[in-house]
A and B are shown apart, each in its own frame.
Chain A
C-alpha cells in the first residue's frame, strides 16, 4: 500500500515570506498530485506531476517531483492571505487508487 506523508501538518506564516511543504511517499507512484481545500469546500486540483524532475508553477505556488527520493515539494513564494487553505498531496498506485497525505493547514498572517 502506498503511504503518503506530509509535513508540516500546520504552518503559520507571515505575508511575504517563503516556505516549503514536503510530501514523501513510500513506494513507486506513477504521478503525484497536489490539491487545495478551503474550509467546508471540496478539493481543487493544483498540479499533476508526471515524471522525475517535473516542475510546475502557478502564481506563487511551485511544485516539484523527485521520484528517486520519493519526494515532492510545494513551494510558496511571498505568501498572501488568499493562500490560506489546507494542501494535500496524493500518489496513485498501479491499481489506480489515490492515496492522500494528512494535509498541511496553511495560515498566512497579515
Chain B
C-alpha cells in the first residue's frame, strides 16, 4: 500500500526556472493539500483541493499554482522559482466526510533548493 507518494524527493533549481511537484495517493481520498515546512514555522498550507477539478488557495499561495485533473493526483507548480521558495514541501490527503476520526496522511516530502 503506497499511500501518498511525492515526486521528486530532492531538487535544486536556479532562480527563474520552473518545475512541477507531483503528489499521488491511492486511498481514494477526496481532499488533497500542499504544505511547505520552514524552520520555526511549522507547516503552512499553500493550496488545497476538495475534489477532482477543484482547487483553492491556502495561507501562502503566492508564486505557486496547482491542478487536480485526476482524483488521485495533485500537482504543485512553480512558474518562476525564487530563493524564498527553498523549503520542504509536503503533500497530504484525507477524506473527512467518510469518518470523523480520519487523519491526514502525508507524503515523504520534497526538499527543494532554489539558488
Which of A1, A88, A98 has most B Cβ within 10 Å?
Answer: A98
Task: Evaluate whether A48 and B42 lie within 8 angstroms (CB atoms) in the complex, with A96-B31, A96-B96, A97-B58 already known.
Answer: no
Q: How many chain B residues touch A (Cβ–Cβ < 8 Å)?
A: 27
> Which residues of the other chain, A, contact B104 by a CB distance below 8 angstroms?
33, 45, 90, 98
Interface string of B33-61 (1 = CB under 8 A from A): 10100001111110010100000001100
User: Residue on A with the closest CB to B45?
Assistant: A97
**Chain A: which residue is nearest B48 at the CB level?**
A97
Residues of B within 8 A of A97 (CB): 33, 45, 48, 58
- CB A75 to nearest CB in B, in angstroms, measures 20
Complex CA gap A45/B94 in Å reads 12
B92 at the interface (CB under 8 A from A): yes
- Evaluate whether A31 and B101 lie within 8 angstroms (CB atoms) in the complex, with A88-B43, A97-B48, A102-B42 already known: yes
A102 touches B92 (CB 8 A): no
Give residues of chain B (65-111) contacting chain A, Cβ–Cβ below 8 Å. 90, 92, 94, 96, 100-109
B43, B96, B102, B109: residue with the most chain A Cβ atoms closer than 10 Å: B43
Among residues of B, the one whose C-beta sits closest to the C-beta of A34 is B103
B101 & A48 in contact (Cβ 8 Å cutoff): yes
Complex Cα distance A99/B58, Å? 10
A41-B108, A43-B90 known; 6 new pairs, CB 8 Å cut-off, are A33-B104, A42-B106, A43-B43, A92-B96, A100-B43, A100-B44
